[in-house]
A and B are shown apart, each in its own frame.
Chain A
Amino acid sequence: MITRHLDDEQLDRHLSGESPDPEAEEHLAGCLACRRRRDAFLAVIGASAVPDPSVEERDAAREAALRAFGARRHAPVIRWWLAAAAAVLVAVLVALDRPPAPAVSLAEADTVLEEVDAVLERDPLAVLGGSALVETVVPAEAAGERSAS
C-alpha cells in the first residue's frame, strides 16, 4: 500500500474511470484526506448540473414520442385508404358532371339547317345579314336558355 497521498495524475485517472491502479485504489480506500478531495470535486460537479426533469416531464416526453411513433407507423395505412376513397369520389363526381349526350344537339342542328335553307330560298341575300339570319332562325332568348342549361 502506498503511504503518500494520491498525486493529481492518479486522482484524475481514478476520476476518469480508467483501469484502476490497485495501489492507488487501496490507498484511497484507507485515506480520508484523499477521499475528501475526490468527493469535493464530485460534489461541485453534481451541484453544477442542471436539475433532473420531474416525473411528469419525463412521462410527457416519453408519451409524446410514443404517440408520434405510433402515428407514423399507421400513417401509410391511413394514406392508402384516403387515396382509395378520394379516387372513388372523383370518379363519381366526374360521372355526374358529364354533359348531356350529343344526339339531342345533332337533332337541333338538323332543324336549324333546314330553317336556314328555307330562309335562303325565300331571300338569297339574307346570307349577307350575318347575325340577322341567325336571329331569325335561333331567337336570342332560346340561345341564352340553351347555353345556361
Chain B
Amino acid sequence: MGPGGERDLVDRARAGDRQAAEALLVRHELLIHRTCRQLLPAGEDVEGAVQETFLRALRGLPGFTGASSVAGWMAAIAVNLCRDRLRRHRLVPFQPLESDDEGEPGGPVAVVPASDPGPERVAMARQAVERVRREVEALPDRQREAFVLRFHAGMDLDGIAAALGIDVGTVKTHLHRAVRRVRRVAEEAMP
C-alpha cells in the first residue's frame, strides 16, 4: 500500500473505522515495538509504553497533518513517550552484562562466521555484542535515538528527522558521530 492508501486509512480511522485504525497499527507496530524496546531500559514497562503510543496515535489522528509520513509521526510519539518515562523515573538504559541469548536467532552466535565457529570465537562475539550494546547506551540522547531509529527500527533519514523533530542535516550529524563511535568499538572487539 502506498502513501495514498495510507492516507485513506488515516481518513477512515479518523471517521471511526476500527478496521482502518487496526490496519494502521499493524502497519507500523514493529517500528513502535522496536523503538520502545531499544530506548527504554530492561525492567521498564515496555508493553505499556507501546500501548500508550498506539493510544496517543489513535487519539491524535485528527491532528495529523500529513506533513510527515505516518511512520515518522508515530515514531515521534514513541520517542517522546520514552523520553518522558526516562525523565520521570530518572531511568538509565540498562542491559545485563550476562545474557543467555546464545541460541537466539539474533544472538552473538549470529556474528560468528560459519567458517570459524570455535568456542573462542563465540566468546569473543559475546563480548563484542556486550561492548557494542553498552556503547550504544552510552551515546548522547539524540545520537542514541537516531542510531536506534536507523539500525533497529530501519527508518530512513527523513523519517528519523520527523521522529526527532529536527532537520535531515542534523540527523546526519548525529548518525555520523554515533556510527563512527560504535563502529570503532565493534571493530576493536571483533578484529
Contact = CB atoms under 8 A, between A and B. Distances in A.
- A-B interaction: yes
Interface of A: 8, 11-13, 15-18, 37, 40-53, 57-58, 60-62, 64-66, 68-70, 72-73
A19 to B, nearest CB: 9
Contacts, number: 118
Interface of B: 16, 18, 21-22, 25-26, 29-30, 33-34, 37-38, 42, 47, 50-51, 54-55, 58-59, 95, 101, 104, 106-108, 110-111, 125, 128-130, 132-133, 136, 150-152, 156-157, 172, 175-176, 179-180, 182-183, 186-187, 189-190
SS class of chain B's interface: helix, strand, loop or mixed? helix
A82 B156 CA distance: 49
Contacts of B133: 48
11 contacts: A17-B156, A40-B186, A40-B187, A44-B128, A45-B186, A49-B106, A51-B106, A58-B30, A61-B29, A61-B33, A65-B25
B21 A66 contact: yes
B108 A47 contact: yes
B147 to A, nearest CB: 9
Contacts of B111: 40, 43-44, 47
A26 to B, nearest CB: 21
Contacts of B110: 43, 46-47
Nearest to B174: A16
Contacts of B176: 12-13, 16, 18
Contacts of B190: 40, 44
A12 B59 contact: no
Given A15-B183, A41-B186, A43-B110, A52 B33 contact: yes
B30 A52 contact: yes
A96 to B, nearest CB: 42
Contacts of A53: 33, 37, 47
A11 B50 CA distance: 34
A18 B180 CA distance: 14
B132 A51 contact: no
Contacts of A37: 187
Contact of B183 (A12, A65, A68): A12
A58 B22 contact: no
Contacts of A40: 111, 186-187, 190
